[in-house]
Amino acid sequence: MKKIISILIIGFLITCSFKVQGFSKQDEDLKKQITPGDYFHFMIHDFRIRTYRIHVPSCYNSDDPLPMVLILHGHPSNSKNMQLATELDAKADEEGFIAVYPDGEIPPFPIFLLALMNGMRGCWWNAWDYNNYNKVDDVDYILELIKKIQENININPLRIYITGISGGALMTYRLGAELSDIVAAIAPVAGSIGGCWKAWLEQSGQYIITEPSNPVSVIIFHGLKDQNVPYYGGWVNGTIGPLSLSTKYLSVNESTLFWVAHNNCNPKPEIDQSGNVIKTAYVNGDSDSEVVLYTVKDGAHEWFGSPYFPDRGISINDIMWEFFEQHPKQ
């Protein structure tokens, strides 16, 4: 009975989705239906209802293709929180790009229960394939979401970018690797390319993102005092107990050098320090790719430049967009 009800609900939602403004498959001129503003939509992916938010900037007129930036929330959180915390809508209006905020999924039961025990509520990304209970394929979800948006909004296919913080940064690293044929550049904030996790008495094996098939420019932001995803790697908050939920991360240096090697950048970096911020740039990679690391010496687990965090003398939004503008897909 539950299965029948679920199928009926999904069928109803699919029918409704065809009636949402700007997403009607029966209209021959979909792109002209979209006007500047904020949208909240859903799609059915792998028999799951997946939600996302879109901010269309004031300059959008459907005739000229715009860049698109996908912005991934952390663990656990949601698209609305990310939209508010980053204030990237204002940057999208200023610079002229489509801002997309997808939602992750509810984690598998053991992780979900431990998260609740630790006061953590919200959606997660299956960034390291730890969601073995319901096999959520977030890589394919994001790929299908990109295709769906391209059907309805005039997107420049050479300027598709992804950023995210914390768990969203883990997913950003993975998407950059597995969707390297379509993603021009990524900007992970407080993330890692891999590690292992422990929940209850179970510990996973070592996970690391796959080798990309194409060059992808990468700009990384990480606080030296980050305790959630430690700058030098290791277990979150040190040792862990048998009934805890924790993660062991590869270091920022390991994450950076992974992309330096893949992009075939000059292994000798250009280093520039200005006050609290150290910029480490690896240049001259294949297809003009670069890997740039911004280390914020007194920074923690933060979206630098957001009014919701302390002022660290650096704006992720400004630096990230300048980097994205310089790196279209080659």
The rounded mean pLDDT for the chain is 86
Q: What DSSP element (H or E) covers 174?
A: helix 167-178
pTM: 0.88
Q: Are 212 and 185 in contact (CB under 8 A)?
A: no
Residue 32 above 90 pLDDT?
no
Give the rounded distance of the alpha carbon of 197 from its chain centre.
19
Over residues 161-172, the mean pLDDT reads: 97
Residue type, 215: P
Q: pLDDT at residue 65 above 60?
A: yes
Q: Using alpha carbons, list the distances in angstroms from residue 186 to 22, 116, 181, 290, 306.
A: 28, 31, 13, 11, 19
Banded pLDDT at 28 (limits 50, 70, 90): very low
pLDDT digits (tens, 9 = 90+) for 241-268: 444 567 889 999 999 999 999 999 999 9
* Domain assignments of the chain as residue spans, ordered by start: 1-32, 34-325
- On the question of pLDDT at 286 being above 90, the answer is yes
Please check the confidence at residue 38 and state whether its pLDDT lies above 70.
yes
What CATH architecture does domain 34-325 belong to?
Answer: 3-Layer(aba) Sandwich (3.40)
